[in-house]
Structure formats: structure tokens, C-alpha cells
Amino acid sequence: MEFDPRIFIELFAETIQYWWVIVPSIVLGLVVGAIPGFSAANTIIMLLPLAIVLPIDVGFVAMIAIYCSSRMGAGIPAILVNIPGTAGAAATPLDGYPMTQQGRGQQALAISFTSSVLGGLITTVVALIAMPWLAEVAFYLHSVEMIVVMLFGISLIATIATGDTLKGLTAGFFGLMIGAIGADVVYEMPRGSMGFLELYDGIPLIPALVGLFAISEAFIVIDRDTILTERGRAAVLHSTGWAPTIEGVRETLKRWWHVVWTSIIGLFIGIIPGAGAAIASFVAYQQSKTYSKTPELYGTGHIEGLIAPEAANNGVTSGTLVPLLILGIPGGATAAIMLVVLQYHNVTMGTDLFVNNPKLAYLPFTAMAVTYFLMIFTIPLLARYMSHVTVVRTVYMAPVVIAFTLVGAFVSRDYIFDMYLALAFGVIGYIARRTGYHVAAILIGVILGPLLETYFIRALKMSQGDISVLFSSTLGNILWVCLFLNLAIPIWFERRNGRRKVRSA
């Protein structure tokens, strides 16, 4: 299987002719991405009858456009009203929402959209060219290696805990305990479910997301006139025209290398079946902060803290298609639905697809490239006009946010129980914020804890309980060393800078 540039050029020219499909799909994807609880997966499921009836190329292009644009759309509520409606946008509010509070919402949206588009374009081209080599990544990353990858994401708890170590770690471990609710991996015995059948499969992600971030934030700001600080409100009222949008695009382009390497993280994590955008965004954010020259600025509205998760979660989109097309293994929920459509049209996955029907094999990547290219033209309009949501008084905004998030919590599983669960997480998040605990640390535990346990138990079962299996893989040992260095280097930098300050004093 070799990449032929001529096929790509021909396909790119042909794919542009599907603009009449791509443009409406982009609009639909942006809308559903901006609604908490909705995602590309459940949108494509609703459109599945139409996707099956349409010709395979038209249906495939429409699904890809919805998939890519929904990733970009998910950053809108995460930045403006602190609602990460999907797991992939869970790290976006860490720096995106503080920028909004400072009156820089328009700039933050421009940074988010530009990072998303560039991250998606870069990884699409890389995936297209390096397809034969990237396909082998899924063969080498097994349970042991995935454990270390999960620990990279969970180590963000320690990074968050630098301000108050005890509270940060307490919040993280509390999240891990909540993530352990549900049937255990080995015997399927319920634990911590308190008799609720709805919790047998574990804590549903969307209610936890919207509760910890959106509902708790609505409770916090309800006693204020606006979500903006006084200085932020003045900045919004005095900022007119396209200047903040242009500034956001310019600041992102200045940090082009940051976009490149964080999106590559998303690409590689996306190739791993089951990993997903949540892990990619957390890992990218943690790596960005670890190796930053100004780590103390993260969480206060730092541009690089917004670029990293947005570039990474859009890098995942092309990564999830690699195991789908070459191995027939969907890398995520959306890719699984695409597999159903392909199988309905009698398309056989694998290397033979690239030999017998190379245009169809490369079509999703050229469709992604065209989609991201067309989304460039949406950046100015979306960034300028959607940022005005922030000036709405909280007496109106807070009830609307709570209502929308409760609907989003219901949509994911169609359980009324999930709406009450979102309110419960809202109360937990409110108490955590009022007492100085970081809700992001809780969320990391809820998301990554069950995944870590699954891979850990799987590794032990394969080794018949031998714990040394965690250090039995060459690649795994390399990753262990990288993890150790990843945690040790910031401490070394901090001590070195401390010694320098003492000497200068």
C-alpha cells in the first residue's frame, strides 16, 4: 500500500465538487457540536437512513464533514459559557473560559477555530502520507502501553495540584472514586451504584461533564450581573469590529509549531482504538503546560493552553479513520457508525481496499481536507458574532444554560435519571468551586479512571496476575521513562528557577 500523490490531487479536485453536501453538513455539525450532549455520533445515527440511501461517496463525505465540524463547534459553549458538551472539549474551558471572563471571548473563539482548522488540516495530510506506518501503531500499543498513556493524562491532576497540592490530589482521587462506580471489570458485580440500575454501566459521561462545569458555573454566577469581570465587560463594550478576531488568528499563527506538535499528539492517540479525543486533549494540555516557559499562566486565560486541546481533539478525527480503513476496527463511536454504512454498501476494509478501490480509501481524508479548508471561511463570522453571548445578563443566561444542559444530559441515554444526576454533579461542582477544589481534576478522574482500570485488569489477566507485566514491554518501558521525566522535569525547572531568584535577591 503506497501513497500516490496523483490520486490525492484528483480526489481533492473531485471532492470540492461535493461542496453542496459539505457546506450544509458543516453548518449542521457546528450546530450539534455547540449543543451540550449532542455529538457527531448521535447526529449521524439519526441521519443513518439517509446515509445508507445516498451513494456511498456522497454519504461518506457528509458524515466526514459533520464529524469534523462538530469537533470545532464543541469549543463554542466550552469557551463562552464553560460547557464542555463532549469529552473532547473537556480541557478547552481551562483557559478558554477565563479568556471570556476577561472580555476576550471573540479572540478566544478565533484562537480555538484557527487551532481546530490547522490541527485538522495538518494531521489529515500527515495521516494521508504516512498511512502505511501509522497503521502499525495500533499493533504495538497494547494494554501495558495504554496504561502509561492513561497515566500521562491523569498526571494532569498533579499539574493542576501545583497551586494547592492537597486539594488538587483530593479532587483527583475523588474523581477516580466516582469513576469506579458501576459493574467491576472482572465479575460484573455492581459497586457504589446504591441500587440504581442506571449506574450499573458506570457514571455516564455527559451528565458528569455538564454538571461539574456548566451547572456549577451557573450556580456560581447567578448572584452576579454578568459572567464577565468588570474589566472584561468594559473590554467587550469597547471592542468593536474584527480586531479581536484578527488578533486571535495572528496569535495562533505565531504559535504554529505549538499547533503542529499538539495536533500530532491527537493523531497518534486517535489511531489507538477506544482512546478518543478526551485522552488526547488532556494529554496535549498536560504536555503543553509541562514544557512551557510560563506554566504559571495556564488556567488564567493562556493562549497556548487553549491551542493545545483544540488542536489535539481535531487531530483525533483523522487518526480514528486509520484503524477503520486498514484494520476494519473503528477508533471511536463515529467511526463505528461509518463502518456500518460501508458494510451496507459491501465495502471490505483492509489493505485490499487501497489496492482495489484507492479513491474510496483516500476519500475520507480528502473530504476532511476540503471540510477544514471550507471551515476557514466560518472563523471570522462565528468568532465575532457568537462572542456577544457573553454580554447577556446571568439572570437570563443561567436558567437557559441549566435548561440546555439538562436536555443534553437526557439526550445521551434518554434517561430522566441522567438529568437528576447532572444536577447532583452541579451541586458537587458548586461546593468544589466554593471550597477551592478544581472541578477539572474531578473530571479527569471520572473520565480516565475507568479506562485505566480496564487496561490494568486486562494486563493482569493476560499475565495471570503478575504485576511485572507492566514493565515487560520495550515500548512500554520507554513510555514509563518518558512519564517519569515528564513529572520530574517541571520539578527540576521549578527548583532551578527558585535558586536563581534566591541568588538574584
430-440 pLDDT, tens digit each: 999 888 888 88
Would you state the pLDDT for residue 34? 81
Would you state the pLDDT for residue 496? 73
Query: Helix (H, G, I), strand (E, B), or coil: what is residue 64?
Result: helix
Would you state the pLDDT for residue 213? 83
Q: Measure the CA–CA gap between 24 and 43, rounded to whole angstroms.
A: 14
Whether the predicted pLDDT of 72 surpasses 60: yes
Whether the predicted pLDDT of 380 surpasses 80: yes
| pLDDT tens readout for residues 9-31 | 777 888 888 888 999 999 998 98
Q: Measure the CA–CA gap between 461 and 426, rounded to whole angstroms.
A: 37
| pLDDT tens readout for residues 282-312 | 889 988 988 888 888 898 899 999 999 999 9
Per-residue three-class SS string for 387-451: HHHHHCCHHHHHHHHHHHHHHHHHHCCCCHHHHHHHHHHHHHHHHHHHCCCCHHHHHHHHHHHHH
Would you state the pLDDT for residue 372? 93
Whether the predicted pLDDT of 212 surpasses 80: yes
**Bridge partner list, 191:** 182
Would you state the pLDDT for residue 230? 66
Give CA separation, 90 vs 83, 116, 148, in Å: 8, 15, 20
Query: For 197-201, 409-413, 472-476, which range has the lowest pLDDT when averaged over its residues?
Result: 409-413
Give mean pLDDT, residues 484-498: 74
Q: Measure the CA–CA gap between 129 and 419, rounded to whole angstroms.
A: 45
Would you state the pLDDT for residue 229? 67
Whether the predicted pLDDT of 166 surpasses 90: no
Whether the predicted pLDDT of 2 surpasses 70: no
Beta strands in 190-255 (DSSP E): 190-191
- For residue 35, name the pLDDT band (cuts at 50, 70, 90): confident
Q: Measure the CA–CA gap between 201 and 189, rounded to whole angstroms.
A: 11
Would you state the pLDDT for residue 204? 87
CB-facing half-sphere around the CA of 35: CA atoms within 13 A:
20
444 compared with 495, residue with greater pLDDT = 444
Query: For 73-77, 88-92, 258-262, 408-412, which range has the lowest pLDDT when averaged over its residues?
Result: 408-412
pTM strictly above 0.85: no
Would you state the pLDDT for residue 258? 95
Q: Measure the CA–CA gap between 195 and 43, rounded to whole angstroms.
A: 32
206 compared with 38, residue with greater pLDDT = 206
The domain limits of the chain are 5-472, 473-505
- For residue 271, name the pLDDT band (cuts at 50, 70, 90): confident
133 compared with 244, residue with greater pLDDT = 244
- DSSP one-letter code for 183: E
Whether the predicted pLDDT of 232 surpasses 70: no
Reported as type and span, the H/E element at residue 182 is strand 182-183
- What would the grid cell of residue 90 be? 473537556
- What would the grid cell of residue 173 be? 482521587
Mean pLDDT of the chain: 83
Residue corresponding to grid cell 464577565: 228
Reported as type and span, the H/E element at residue 463 is none
Whether the predicted pLDDT of 81 surpasses 90: no
Helices (H), 91-229: 93-101, 105-129, 131-134, 137-140, 143-154, 156-160, 165-179, 205-210, 216-221
Would you state the pLDDT for residue 157? 76
Would you state the pLDDT for residue 10? 78
Give mean pLDDT, residues 173-177: 88
Whether the predicted pLDDT of 329 surpasses 90: no
Would you state the pLDDT for residue 347? 81
**Cα-trace Rg, the chain:** 22
CB-facing half-sphere around the CA of 321: CA atoms within 13 A:
29
Query: Helix (H, G, I), strand (E, B), or coil: what is residue 84?
Result: coil
Whether the predicted pLDDT of 377 surpasses 80: yes
